[in-house]
Each structure stands twice: as structure tokens, then as C-alpha cells.
Amino acid sequence: MNSVALVGRLTGDPEIKEVLDGTYRTIINLAISRDYKNPDGNYDTDFIRCILWNGIASATKDYCHKGDIVGVRGKLQSHTYENDNKEKRFVVEVLVDKITFLSSPTVNKA
């Protein structure tokens, strides 16, 4: 089974792009604080890349902004690529099936 659910803050304003004729994609990054302190007494934060397509991509662009809290549900996907220095990089990201806007001011005013 491949399923993940996360709650975190957006690290930037969502931007939507048309990648194919009529297909839209938004990439967001979630900042998620760990629930325990590191040896220095601070909470570490993980930054998780999330991919959204079409309708949920548009809604996220319309209603969310940097700093908003969102919940996402989806599945993990991974891939590799070579950077400009020909170094191989491994990426794990969340392919989002559902997003819940938890703190967007636009949604909370209704």
C-alpha cells in the first residue's frame, strides 16, 4: 500500500503551469515541523515537495498563499535525474489526490 497524509505550511505561493494542452500542474512545498527536539533543543523541519494536477491545482492556486496550513493526502513517487554537474539525484515527492485548506483566510471568511 502506498498512502501518505501530511499537514504543513506552504513555503511559497502556489504557481500553476500548463504542462500539456489542457493539463495543469502546481508544485507546492510543505514545511512540517518534527514533534521532537534535536540535541540543540530546536525542532527540525522537513520540507516535502507535493505535485497537484488539474482541478486541485487550480483550487490551490486560487485559495492558498505562503504560510497557509494545508493537509494533503496522496501517494509517494520517486525518480532520479542528473543535474548540470552530471551528478545523479534521487527525489521522493507526494502525488496529491486530495488537499484540505486549513488556514486560508479566503476559506475561513465564509
**Which positions ≥6 away from 36 have C-beta within 8 Å?**
43
The pair phi, psi for residue 85, each rounded to 5°, is: -90, 10
Query: What is the model's pTM?
Result: 0.85
Query: What's the confidence (pLDDT) of residue 20?
Result: 83
Fill in the amino acid letter for 41: G
pLDDT digits (tens, 9 = 90+) for 54-88: 999 999 999 999 999 999 999 999 999 999 999 99
pLDDT digits (tens, 9 = 90+) for 1-38: 999 999 999 999 999 999 988 899 999 999 999 999 99
What domains are there in the chain, each with its CATH number?
4-108 (2.40.50.140)
Specify the 3-state DSSP secondary structure of 17: strand
